[in-house]
Amino acid sequence: MNYKNLNLSIIETHAHIYDEQFAEDRNEMLEKAFSNGISEIWMPNCNSETIDGMMALAGQFPEKCLPMIGLHPCYVKEDFEKELYIMEEWLGKHKFLAIGEIGMDLYWDKTFVNQQEQAFLTQCQLARKHNLWIDIHCRDAFWETVKLIEKNGDSELKGIFHCFSGGLEEAHKVIELGFLLGIGGVVTFKNGGIDKLIPEIDLKHIVLETDSPYLAPAPHRGKRNEPSYLTLVAQKIADLKQMSIEDAIRITTENALRLKG
């Protein structure tokens, strides 16, 4: 199905379309996404090295490819303060959608856990200062991230727990904090677990994402992911909620738009 024929606007809330995996066919990949009803692609930043590529796309497609700025926890090292200074410089000269992606990642390496905490808290302060929401990455660190948010009384912060992979208890905590659940290709995985969660959560708390080029949904699992596959995520959620694809897309798009204000 060509979802553009449904006259619906689909917002892709998390895609690294500046990634080198798209170097050879980036324009074709984007045209495919736009022709399938993707109206906006929200681009999370990783570190200072990814900014130029991201901003080039923002300049090429100013109404469709919207940049965030932030330091991904996997890129937090000894020099993280220098990286954050660069982020703050950019915030002073350009308009960004959000601070992201930021958070905690204790899956790959716990060497810089203290620095990750400091980087996260500093970037939360930047979000408040610039009146922006935050895009959270937390892998094997959900409750650690929640603790940091609660410890600092960040009730004003809003945003997305990107690539949400927790259970019902974690989902309810995200909702209690006033955040949205970013749901992507994992919902289509046979043993991903997210398919069991979706029927228990009101759709008003969910936004759609791919995390391209990672985590491609079935039947593309294991291959390069891309924003046009977001329709597969939407269809799976619609099936699980026993509703039309039109309603699933409309509600999740409205949720995303509310973040923009």
Question: Which of 83, 57, 56 lies closest to 71 in space, CA to CA?
Answer: 83
Which residues have a Cβ under 8 Å from the Cβ of 178 and sit 6 or more positions away? 155, 157, 158
Contact between 162 and 14 under an 8 Å Cβ cutoff? The reply is yes
pLDDT at 6: 62
Asked whether residue 202 is marked as a ligand-binding residue, the answer is no
* pLDDT tens, N- to C-terminus, the chain (261 residues): 555 556 679 999 999 999 999 999 999 999 999 999 999 999 999 999 999 999 999 999 999 999 999 999 999 999 999 999 999 999 999 999 999 999 999 998 899 999 999 999 999 999 999 999 999 999 999 999 999 999 876 678 999 999 999 999 999 999 999 999 999 999 999 999 999 999 999 999 999 999 999 999 999 999 999 999 999 999 999 999 999 999 999 999 999 999 987
What is the spatial distance between Cα 157 and Cα 70, in angstroms, rounded to a whole number? 15
The domain spans of the chain are: 10-260
First to last CA, the chain: 31
Q: Which of the following CATH numbers is that of domain 10-260: 3.20.20.140, 1.20.1560.10, 3.40.50.1970, 3.10.105.10?
A: 3.20.20.140
pLDDT tens-place string over residues 11-50: 999 999 999 999 999 999 999 999 999 999 999 999 999 9
Backbone angles phi, psi at 10, to 5 degrees: -110, 125
Asked whether residue 220 is marked as a ligand-binding residue, the answer is no
Asked whether residue 162 is marked as a ligand-binding residue, the answer is yes
Per DSSP, helices labelled H in 36-138 are: 51-60, 80-91, 113-129
Contact between 68 and 99 under an 8 Å Cβ cutoff? The reply is yes
Taking the model in full, what pTM does it have? 0.96
Asked whether residue 172 is marked as a ligand-binding residue, the answer is no
Q: Cα dist. 241→48, 130, 197, 216 in Å?
A: 40, 36, 10, 21
